[in-house]
Amino acid sequence: MESIGLIRDFLKDRLAVEPESVVPDAVLAELGVDSLMMLELMFEFEDRFGIKLSSDLQTPRTVGEMVSLMDGLIAKSKS
């Protein structure tokens, strides 16, 4: 769950979304995350964890999917 902090910080900073609303079932689009913001979030992730994302990643729909994706990549990078 390393990535949830980053997602919460980002949504709080950019959209004033309170951290308690950023739960696994929350749909990113409903929180205000559009395609452009998704790119920014990916960029923040790359920056924070030093991981490069491939350009053909499937876009996550929910916070939970985003966390799974990011945490999976973090674990892979450490293995």
Among 43, 59, 61, 75, which residue interacts with another protein (rule: CB under 8 A)? 43
The alpha helices in 1-79, defined as continuous H runs, are 2-15, 35-49, 63-78
Question: Using an 8 Å Cβ cutoff, are 3 and 66 in contact?
Answer: yes
Question: Using an 8 Å Cβ cutoff, are 2 and 74 in contact?
Answer: yes
Q: Is 18 in the site for another protein (CB under 8 A)?
A: no
The stretch near another protein (CB under 8 A) out of 1-9, 23-31, 36-44, 60-68 is: 36-44
The stretch near another protein (CB under 8 A) out of 23-31, 33-41, 61-69, 71-79 is: 33-41
Amino acid at the residue 3: S
Name the residues that contact another protein, by CB under 8 A. 13-16, 32, 36, 39-40, 42-43, 46
